[in-house]
Amino acid sequence: MPESSLIGKRVEVLDKGYIELVDMLPHPDTGISGDLAIVNAARVSFLGESKGEEKDKRLLFYLMRNRHTSPFEMVEFKFRCHAPLVTWWQWVRHRTWNMNAQSGRYTPFEEDDFYVPDIWRLQAVSNKQASEGEVDAQTAAQLTEKLAAHYQQGFQLYQEALAAGVAKEMARLFLPGFSVYYTWVIKTDAHNLLHFLRLRMASDAQYEIRVYAQAIYEHFFKPALPWTAEAFEQYILNAD
C-alpha cells in the first residue's frame, strides 16, 4: 500500500474502538520512504540520496541486527486512537509517547461508549496479573447482561447530574471508570514504537492493548516500513 494512502486510514479495534494514522514523518508528499529516511540518517546524508535498494536494505538490516537505534528515531507516526481506559492504563506506562487526551471536563461522554468484552477471561493461576481460558457461555452471558445494566445505570446518573447543573468534571464520577472510551492523539518515533510493539504484541500482554498493537503493526507499520518490519521480525520479534 502506498504510504500516501495510509494517512487518514482508520482501523476498528475492539467493539467500539479504532486507531487512525493522522500523520507521519517523513510525509509521503516528500517522496522519501520511511525506510530510506532511516538509512540516510545512518549515513548522515541528505534525504533522498540512495546507494541502491540492495545496499540500502543491507544497511538497514545491519542497523537492526546490531541495535543501532538512533536512525530509527528519524521516522515518526501520529495516531488518533479511541480506546477504553483499561487500555490507556497500560499504554501510558510507555513514557516515550507524546499524548494529548480527550477531557471529560470539557466534552460530555457519549451514551453507550463503554467497552463490552466479547469473552470473559479467567484469572491465571500462576500469574497474578494475567488471564487464561474463558468462563462458560452461560456465566459469560449473565456477566455481559449485568455489565450492560451497570453501564446504563451509571450513564443515566451521569446525565441526571449534568441536568442538575453539576460540573462535567464531577458528573463523570458516575461513569464506570475502566471501561469508558477516551480519544487520544498520540505520537512516537519508529524506534520507540518497535519497543512498544515487541512488548504489547506478546502473547502475555493484556488483550485490550494487544489488539491495538497488532492493528498498528499490521495496518500501518508494516506497510509504511516494510524493510524495517522484516528486519524487526528477523532479529527482534522472533528472537525473543
Q: What is the pLDDT of residues 90-148, one digit of tens each?
A: 999 999 999 999 888 888 887 779 999 999 998 888 887 788 899 999 999 999 999 99
Quick check: 75 and 25 in contact, CB under 8 A?
yes
Active site residue 200: yes
State the pLDDT at residue 134.
92
For the segment 12-25, the average pLDDT, to the nearest whole number, is 97
For the segment 164-177, the average pLDDT, to the nearest whole number, is 93
**What's the topology of domain 3-100+180-239?**
Gyrase A; domain 2 (3.30.1360)
Among candidate residues 43, 121, 200, 210, the one labeled active-site is 200
Domain locations in the chain?
A: 3-100+180-239, 116-176
User: Is residue 152's pLDDT more than 80?
Assistant: yes
For the segment 147-151, the average pLDDT, to the nearest whole number, is 95
Can you tell me the distance from the alpha carbon of 92 to that of 88, in angstroms, rounded to the nearest whole number?
Answer: 6
Q: Where are the beta strands (DSSP E) in the chain?
A: 10-13, 17-25, 76-84, 98-101, 121-123, 131-134, 181-189
Inter-residue long-range contacts of 122-129, CB under 8 Å, 24+ positions, other chains counted: 127/204
pTM above 0.85, yes or no: yes
The dihedral through the CA atoms of 140, 144, 115, 88 has a sign that is negative
